[in-house]
Structure 1
Amino acid sequence: MRGIVKMRLFNKRRKTSQQRRHLTIATLEGVPSVIFQTLLGGQFLTGFLLYLGANSEQIGFVLAITTFVNIAQLAVAFLIQRLNSRKWPLVFFVGMHRLLWGFTGLVPFLFSQDKWVQAFIVFYVAAFLFNTVGAVLWNSTISDMVPPKVRGRYFGIRNTMLNALGTLFMFLGGMILDHYPGSQGFLYLYIIIWICITANIIVFFFYPDIPFERSTESKFIPMLKKPLRDSSFMKPTLFLASFLFLQNLVVPLYSYVMLELLHINYQTISLINVTQTVFMMASFYVWGNLNARYSNRRLLFWTLPVIATSILLWGTLSIFPLLPILFTAQMIFGVGVGGFNQLAFNFMIGDTPKSERPMYTAMYSAITGVASFFGPLIGGKVYGWIDHWPNWTQIYGMQLVVGIIMILLMMSLGRRILRDT
């Protein structure tokens, strides 16, 4: 009898130890990942594209394409059912995504100046095509690595830690570009980026190869129909997609407005974005604790008025000083979008059947990806159309219109669709 009890205790300790090791690896992997993604995104992405000679429409396309390619995740979710192992395909596709994204820094060395923007877009699109596969594999793997009971708090703590690091490098990156403007500054950024890309790929070799529960369907169409027939999943997904479409009409182009129209320097923009990230970090822990008491759907609804308010605040630039409004708007946006992203992820991996999770997450990514694609694409075109209009229409006019529509959508449909079931 004692031997059986000891064996059970040993197995329990072994399982706990293994889970902790998995969580540690997932956290360590995020360290170099958040650094290079910070330096390759946001105002640095916009700034590099402006340096290469891109216009507002091309910037809008680049910001949008990363989400549009998520449509391919539907096919990926079906094909991974035939894999015997998720680990090595994960390492390959994630590695290719990182490498191709890093190759964008080589564009000025490999191509003539008139081809810079086109070459950047080719590398960028190729990178995120590989990422569509890697994202499905990572979501599937991480949902098995993190026990359901600790998901809310673990991702809250993980996101807080990693975003603190991202905040530091966002500020350092802004300082580098202000001190070394142009090609020299971007060269220094890409040196840091390549070091982090290499470290990130290496850590993925230590990811566990966890067996996964396959779908009960063996054919693509029946598997595809599973999430489509689940109204408790599809209604929130379609609503959130419409909200993301509106959000992405203006938010991805904030850096363009600040750099080109308001003529704010990189260091100040970095400080504004650092402020957003600090408030996002603080919100992760709060949203994670609230998630232990309230459902993903209810909390997702609570994030919507926060995001809409942050966008509406841009309209007050007509009567209040510039920088205080931008800082305040980004603080509020950080709280809202931090909660939204964290809870949407928990909704994907927590409110869906385990055996069908790859297709559910792929469906969510595809639908929201299409909406997020057309948002900045149309937003970029609108900025081109209204280029000759009064300056205020470009700086905060669009934000006012979008914010009002978001409030109306939230009050009319959001309450009904995101209520607890």
Structure 2
Amino acid sequence: MNIMRRRPSTSRPKLSRKASIHRKNLRIATFEGIPATIFQVLLQGQFLTGFLLYLGATSSQIGFVLALTTLVNIAQIGVAFLIQKLPSRKWAMVTFIGLQRVLWGSTGLVPFIFPHQYWVIAFIGLYTMAFIVNTVSGVLWSSVISDLVPSRVRGRYFGIRNTLLNALGSLVLYGGGVILDRYPGGHGFLILYIVVWIFSMTNVVVFFFYPDVPFEKSEEIKFLPMFKKPLHDKLFMKSTLFLAAWLLLQNVTVPLYSYVMLQLLHINYETLSLLNVAQTLFMMASFYVWGNLNAKYSNKRLLFWTLPIIAVSSLLWGLLSVLPMLLVLFAAHIVFGVGVGGFNQLAFNFLIGDTPKKERPMYMAMYAALTGLSSFFGPLIGGRVYEVIKHWPHWTQVYGMQLVIGTLMIVLVLVQGRRILRDE
């Protein structure tokens, strides 16, 4: 009788300790996202485009820089194999993340170190090295975080984390826009880069507190058999190739929205920040909706539902011909936020939930490589087209591209999307 009574009491502390460790790890992962969000917001999007314009970049050069981050994803395939040899993912992750932060932050030193005629070339060089290193750190972080977050709370946790970090990102976005309007030119960007350096280094420090979670490695020890695993998964490959084609279309125009608004519509940074804040707020609200729908419907089916929403956001730009500019731009950004919020969340859930755990790094690398390659050519094509049509009628530059791409998106959804992104 006494033995029977003791058994429940001895198991509860173990369960409690395990739950406590999980909660601690999730808190660390959430806190790590705070400094990461602050410096990433200030180095991407409208601020990246604005800094490149300040350095003297053309639309083609801007398109090339925006595309670089996706091209280097091809290297993730090799990284996914090499991390199987690591005794510890944590310290390799900390090392490469620290190096990437230093290289990325160093782009702000370009105007102080190089002659004016070399500003754009020097920026591209540092930016390229930063994102080559980011390829390694990205694979390591994705591998660690997928093991760190228990599957039973994964959807809810990432929904909450994304909501909190996007709320913070909205404040940073607006604050950065105000700073650039108040201190135009190099002075404003100097202030932003000081903030970037403070929080990028803080981000690296927080990674020291990440746990070194056990790594369930692939059963394959050679590269070629490991590489073939996702290639032989027909459902995975069909979905991935379709999404790669979709992202090629999307990235012809979306990364260059800031260029159109800053250079062609002459919108100031504060207004541009408000547009992006509105997009982010509706993206945050959509996380909750998509998360609840995900409890009833599959990742692939919901991914399909996000695509027409993104296409409509592109077509809305055509209303600039008949409606007030800001009304149209706010509507287009809000609809895009709802669509892309669902797309990003569901694509990530598809990768970490619908793929075999032991082979997940290679599956994620294959997805990143294929979608990265297509996303690389999108901004390049878009930037080149804007150079070709710069002497065409103004409307073709402002919203003509969006109408063409939005129409092609609708056709792709109707012809291929319904067949590929369906429940098997």
TM-score (norm 1): 0.99
Task: Confirm whether residue 367 of structure 1 aligns to residue 381 of structure 2.
Answer: no
**Counterparts in 2 of 1:18-37, with a 5 A limit?**
18-37=21-40
Q: Distance in 1 between matches of 2:177 and 2:232?
A: 47
Report what 1:83 is aligned to.
86
Q: By how many angstroms is 1:2 displaced?
A: 3.1
1:108-119 superposed matches below 5 A: 108-119=111-122
Q: For residues 291 and 104 of structure 1, what CA distance do their matches in structure 2 show?
A: 40
Distance 1:417 1:11 in 2: 45
Q: Does residue 377 of structure 2 align to residue 347 of structure 1?
A: no
CA distance in 2, matches of 1:54, 1:281: 32
Other-structure match for 1:403? 406
- Aligned residue type for 2:317: W
The alpha carbon displacement at 1:67 in A equals 0.4
Q: Which runs of 4+ in 1 moved over 4 A?
A: none
- In structure 1, how many angstroms separate the alpha carbons of the residues matched to 2:292 and 2:125? 42
Q: TM-score, normalised by structure 2?
A: 0.98
AA matched with 2:18: K
Q: Percent identity over the alignment? A: 68
SS in 1 for 2:358: helix
**What SS does structure 1 have at the residue aligned with 2:267?**
coil
Letter in 2 for 1:420: D
What letter matches 2:343 in structure 1? F
Equivalent position of 2:252 in the other structure: 249
When the two chains are superposed, the root-mean-square deviation of aligned CA atoms in Å is 0.8
Q: Please report how far the alpha carbon of residue 190 of structure 1 lies from its aligned counterpart in structure 2 after TM superposition.
A: 0.7
Q: Give the Å deviation of 1:287.
A: 1.3
CA–CA distance in 2 between the matches of 1:296 and 1:376? 27
Tell me how far apart the structure 1 counterparts of residues 199 and 293 of structure 2 sit (CA, whole Å).
Answer: 33
Per-residue Cα deviation, 1:354-391 (whole angstroms, up to 9, x for no partner): 00000000000000000110000111001111111111
Query: What one-letter code is carried by the residue in structure 1 that aligns with 2:129?
Result: A
Among 146, 157, 164, the residue aligned to 1:143:
146
Inter-partner Cα distance in structure 1 for 2:227 and 2:6? 48
Distance 1:156 1:289 in 2: 10
- Residues 314-329 of structure 1 mapped to structure 2, 5 A cutoff: 314-329=317-332
Structure 1 residue 305 and structure 2 residue 305: aligned? no
2:76 counterpart of 1:107? no
The runs of 5 or more residues in structure 2 that have no matched partner are: none
Select the residue among 6, 16, 21 that pairs with 1:3. Answer: 6
Say whether residues 1:380 and 2:383 are aligned partners.
Answer: yes
1:274 maps to which residue? Answer: 277
- Matched position secondary structure for 1:355: coil
Report the counterpart of residue 155 of structure 2 in structure 1.
Answer: 152
Counterpart position of 1:202: 205
Q: Is the 8 A contact 1:152 1:289 kept in 2?
A: no
Whether the 8 Å CA contact 1:306–1:336 is kept in 2: the answer is yes
Residue number among 231, 235, 238 corresponding to 2:238 in the alignment = 235
How many Å apart are 1:288 and its aligned residue? 1.6
Query: What is the aligned counterpart of 1:175 among 174, 178, 196?
Result: 178
How many residues end up aligned between the 2 structures?
Answer: 421
Report the secondary structure of 2:118's partner residue: helix
Following the alignment from structure 1 to structure 2, what is the Cα–Cα distance between the partners of residues 345 and 359? 14
Which residue is equivalent to 1:214?
217
Aligned mates of 1:151, 1:16 — CA distance in 2: 14
The reply on whether 1:166 has 2:169 as its aligned counterpart is: yes
Q: Secondary structure at the match of 1:354?
A: coil
Q: 1:336-355 CA distances to partner (integer Å, 9 max, x unpaired)?
A: 00110111111111110000
